[in-house]
Amino acid sequence: MPPRVRIAPSPTGDPHVGTAYIALFNYAFARRHGGKFVLRIEDTDQQRSSSSSEDAILAALRWLGLTWDEGPDVGGPHGPYRQSERTDKYQAAAKVLLDSGAAYRCFCTRERLDALRVEREAAKLRPGYDGHCRDIPKADAQARAAAGEAHTVRLRIPEGGETTVLDQLRGEVTFAHAEIDDQVLLKSDGFPTYHLANVVDDHDMDITHVLRGEDWLTSTPKHVLLYQAFGWDQPLWYHLGLLRNADKSKLSKRKNPVSIDHYRALGFLPETFINFLGTLGYSMPDERERFTLAEFVEGFDLHRIKTGGPVFDPAKLAAFSGHDIRELSDEGLLQVLRDRVLSEDRLRALIPLVRERIDTLDDFVPYASFFFGGSVDYTLVASKLVPNKRTAKETAKVLKDYIDAIEQDADARAFTVEALEAFSRGFGERVGWKPKELFAVLRIAACGRTAAPPLFDTLAVLGKDRVRLRLRDAIDFLKTMPTA
RNA sequence: GGCCCCAUAGUCCAGCGGUUAGGACGCUGGGUUCUCAUCCCAGAAACCCGGGUUCGAUUCCCGGUGGGGUCACCA
């Protein structure tokens, strides 16, 4: 039976490098064995999911060449491939569990749960649900639900005993039931949590092998229990190590660029990027570390996956990239420069910002230089980076808050001129910085110079990823400045 | 903190009982070159610790230590 595997991203932010990493292994396994690679959108979090994020994730994976056989855009026999369109299936599944007693209705309020958490923490007890609603008679619970009382559906974890997960990479991993919480399966808004939706969909879509990040390992016993409660066969489990920051913590945007779009915007070739990911936690049988996606697929072997979490080293990626650019023929380089760096679209965006500021055609390139490339040098503008009445520390803090806040703002996240201006003015007011001060700092941090075209047009054209990189650089630079 | 996972140079990998422990990035030195870069050569740099098992452990087992993950009506 050919394998069926899947990548199941949650559209709650920029396309994440970790998603590409896991997708690569799933893709390679499916292709290697003539199976199917499914893309499923896990958008059960109504608050954080957005269709623009979904679009971006699809585009990013496609850019990398990790194409899928079934998905929300291409369809397939097991659709729909968007969880928000499958809620009836989860409701039905929850009902089955409710009827069999494998799950129960929980009427606890958010307030009670919050209080409980505080209480248990104070008592140094394991945080988790106390089973308050576990033993409500089924008929009573049903009546309360029918009367419209808000509730969730929780999985009834057996009182004693343990559940063993057979991870194909790690062997048997056993969890005592006492350590497992009565997981919420259906939220009070009627949407499923990851755990229910994931199990129901993987079964429904005939997924045979689950290759996912190690961060799921500890919730796998819940999934195993669910499969058992439904009477379904489990898929084979493979938990891959997590990509790490230089300090070994889980790869995060605080410490690294984690958006696939960042690497695209800064001019990495997709082939290079995929190749690099393929060297992390994995090795080719002949030890060669430069290979194409097709070559990666050709010899792909699940047994060669390492379970330790590799550090994502940007320096090595850059070395791969430089090497690949040198491998290009002059004609090939010309082509990619034209397509990706000096594309007509990009020049069109630049022209209105630059035309008033140059006297000769040839001035265009040097003037527009800061629109290209990654980091800029702040040493020449160091004295201007900190506003008169502010300290370097304050300035760094404001920039950091700015970066964080922009991700929280659904409009600003889109990085359009209008949204950026509205957001930035509001942000300045909130932190008590005059527009003049804030805008100057942003301009210098984002451009590396004190004079530039209008700020928000400039930021928009620079692009979110480049701006974020430079703001982060500026923060680091500020931290090294002697405090006056 | 409880539970779980992991452990070869600074980093990414190779190794699957006996090797001068190999490759890549980075670093250092040298060569090519008008400079720089590229390219080439050379070098420094690792089996976390302690017990077992074994004729023999980097490799197998146990313990410790260290690192990580996870403990939500987020995924």
pLDDT of residue A113: 87
Question: How far apart are alpha carbons A393 and A479 in whole angstroms?
Answer: 7
Distance A314 CA to B11 C1' (A): 10
Give Cα separations from A46 to A83, A108, A187 (angstroms).
11, 21, 11
ipTM of predicted assembly, 2 dp = 0.96
A321, A327, A314: which is closest to A271 by C-alpha? A321
Q: Do the Cβ atoms of A196 and A219 come closer than 8 Å?
A: no
Question: How far apart are alpha carbons A326 and A324 in whole angstroms?
Answer: 5
Print pLDDT tens along chain A (484 aa): 899 999 999 999 999 999 999 999 999 999 999 999 999 999 999 888 999 999 999 999 999 999 999 999 999 999 899 999 999 999 999 999 999 999 999 998 888 888 888 888 777 677 788 888 888 888 888 889 899 899 999 999 998 899 999 999 999 999 999 999 999 999 999 999 999 999 999 999 999 999 999 999 999 999 999 999 999 999 999 999 999 999 999 999 888 999 999 999 999 999 999 999 999 999 999 999 999 999 999 989 999 999 999 999 999 999 999 999 999 999 999 999 999 999 999 999 999 999 999 999 999 999 999 999 999 989 889 889 999 889 999 999 999 999 989 988 888 888 999 999 999 999 999 999 999 999 999 999 999 999 999 999 999 999 999 999 999 999 989 988 876 4
Closest protein CA to C1' of nucleotide B16, residue: A304
pLDDT of residue A24: 98
Distance A405 CA to B41 C1' (A): 52
Element (H, E) at A220: helix A220-230
> Residue A275 is encoded by which pair of tokens?
């190749």
Distance A159 CA to B50 C1' (A): 38
* Minimum-distance nucleotide, CA of A46 to C1': B74
Residue A168: CB partners within 8 Å, gap ≥ 6?
A236, A237, A238, A302
* Minimum-distance nucleotide, CA of A11 to C1': B75
- Sign of the alpha-carbon dihedral angle for A198, A199, A200, A202: positive
Strand B contact nucleotides, protein CB < 7 Å? 1-8, 10-15, 22-26, 38-39, 67-75
Question: How far apart are alpha carbons A445 and A472 in whole angstroms?
Answer: 9
Closest protein CA to C1' of nucleotide B67, residue: A248
Distance A16 CA to B13 C1' (A): 23
Report, as residue numbers or ranges, the catalytic residues of A: 253
Element (H, E) at A325: helix A314-327
What are residue A176's DSSP bridge partners? A162
* Minimum-distance nucleotide, CA of A124 to C1': B1
Cβ count within 10 A of residue A330: 7
Distance A179 CA to B16 C1' (A): 35
pLDDT of residue A483: 61
* Minimum-distance nucleotide, CA of A308 to C1': B6
Residue A476: CB partners within 8 Å, gap ≥ 6?
none
SS3 call for A428: helix
